[in-house]
Structure 1
Amino acid sequence: MTAPQTPSENQPPEEPHQPQAAPAEGSGATVEPGGAPEFARELREGVLIALAVAVSGVVLGVLWAWLAPRIPLIADTHNVYLKNTEGEEAIGADGTFALLAFGFGVVTAAVVFLVRRRGGIPLVVSLAVGGLLGAVLGWVTGMWLGPTPDVVAHAKQVGAGVVFDGPLRLQAKGALLAWPIAAMLTQIVLTGLFGPRDPELDGPVVPDWSGHHQPPVG
C-alpha cells in the first residue's frame, strides 16, 4: 500500500513571483488617472488656438478702418456739427464691423476644423474666447487707425466751414459678439457634417439574459 498524497503534493510547483517591470525612463509613458495627459494636451491646443484667432483681430481692424463709411463733420467758429443730420454713416460703420466680424468667425472656424478635423467642447470654447478677444482687438485697432478722436483739435486744424471726417466708433457694442457666435455655429455645423462618425454595428445587438458568459476563443 502507498501512503496517500497530501494536497500539496498534487499541486504543480509554484512559479516564482515576477515583479512587474516599471516603465523605462525617457520612454515617454506616463500613468496618470483620469486621462490627465489628454486633458493637458487639449488645454494647450485650446490656448494656442484662442491666441491665434485673437491675433487675427488686427486684420479685422485694418479692414474696418478701410471699408467703414466716414462721418462728415463741419465746424464754425464755436461748434462742430454733423454735415448730414440724417446721415446713416454711424449705422453703416456698425454694420460693416458686424459683417466683417461674422466673416472672420466663419473663416477662422473653418481653418481650425481643416487643421484638426474634429470638434469637441474645448475647441468650441477656444474659438469663442479667441473670437471675442479678436473682435475687441479689431475694434481698438480700427479706432486707432481711423480719424483722430479729438474732434475739437481736428476742427481747428482744418478751419471753419471745412468738412472733415469724424472719429470711427462702434455704437452697437453687441457687434462684438458676431465673431464668437459665427465661429461656434460654423464649428458645430462642420463637425456635424464632416466630423468623424462612430463605427456602425453589422447587426442588431441582442442582450444575453442567460447569465452565462463564455470566454473569448483564442
Structure 2
Amino acid sequence: MTAPLTPSPHDRPVPVPPQDLPPAPTLSQALRAELPAAAVVAAVATVSGVLMGFLWAWLAPRIPLISDGKAVFLRNSEGEQAIGADGTFALLGLAFGVVAAALVFLLRRAGGVGVVTGLAVGALLGSLVAWRLGMWLGPTSDVVAHARAVGKGVVFDAPLRLGAKGMLLAFPMAAMAVHLGVTALFGPRDEVVVAGPGSGV
C-alpha cells in the first residue's frame, strides 16, 4: 500500500500574466476616423435625390386644370391625382432608401455611428433635393399666367406639389430601417472568448 502523494508546488498552474492590449479608441476618436466615410455616404445619398426628383416629375400623375377666362378650376373635382403625387414620392423614397442602405452595408459592413449618421443626413437632404427639383421640372407654378397662355377652355397641368410634407421622411426612414435590419442579420459578430482550463478565469 502506497502513501498518498502530496501535491508539489511545481504542479500548480502558473498564472499567465495579462497581455498588454492597446487602449480602446474613445468615441470621439472613432467618430473622427469615420468622418471621411460618413461624408462620402452623405454626399452620394444627397446627389441621388437628383435622380429621384427626375423620376418623381416623370411618374407623378398630373392634375388637369381648365380656365373659363375668369377663373381656373379643376377639370375633375373628384380626381385623386394630388394624392397620387404624394404616393409616388413616398414610394420612390422607400425604394431609394432600401437601395442606399443595401449599398452602404455592402461597401462598409462594419458600420459605425458616423456612417449611419451620414446615411440619415444624406437621405434627408436627398429627399429635399428631389422635392424641389421635381417641382422645378414640373409645370410652372404661375397658374394664372399658364391659363392665359393656353387660352379659355384649354386643359393644362397644375404645378407639381407635395401635399403631405411627411413624405419627405420616407427616404431617410427606409434607409435607417433597412440598414439596421441587415446589420442585425448579416453584420459582423463580436468574438466570444472561452476561458480554458488553467486560464485563471
TM-score bracket relative to the smaller structure: 0.7 to 0.9
1:44 aligns with 2:44: no
Report 1:1-218 matches (<5 A).
34=26, 38-202=30-194, 208=200
Alignment check: 8 A CA contact 1:119 1:188 kept: no
Kindly provide the amino acid, as one letter, of the partner of residue 101 in structure 1.
G
Alignment check: 8 A CA contact 2:97 2:173 kept: yes
CA distance in 2, matches of 1:200, 1:183: 30
Q: Which has the higher helix share?
A: 2
Give unpaired runs (5+ residues) of structure 2: 1-24
Using the TM superposition, give the Cα deviation of residue 38 of structure 1 relative to its aligned residue in structure 2, in angstroms: 4.2
Alignment RMSD, CA only? 2.3
Query: For each residue in 1:104-143, what CA deviation from the matched residue of structure 2 results, as whole angstroms up to 9, or x when unmatched?
Result: 0110111111111122222221111101000000001100
Structure index of larger Rg = 1
Give unpaired runs (5+ residues) of structure 1: 1-32, 210-218
Normalising by structure 2, report the TM-score.
0.82
Alignment check: 8 A CA contact 2:34 2:112 kept: no
CA distance in 1, matches of 2:46, 2:79: 33
Between the two proteins, the alignment pairs up a number of residues equal to 178
Alignment check: 8 A CA contact 2:56 2:92 kept: yes
**Stretches of 4+ aligned residues off by more than 6 angstroms:** 203-207
After superposition, the Cα gap between the structure-2 partners of 1:195 and 1:83, relative to the gap in structure 1 and judged at 3 Å, is same
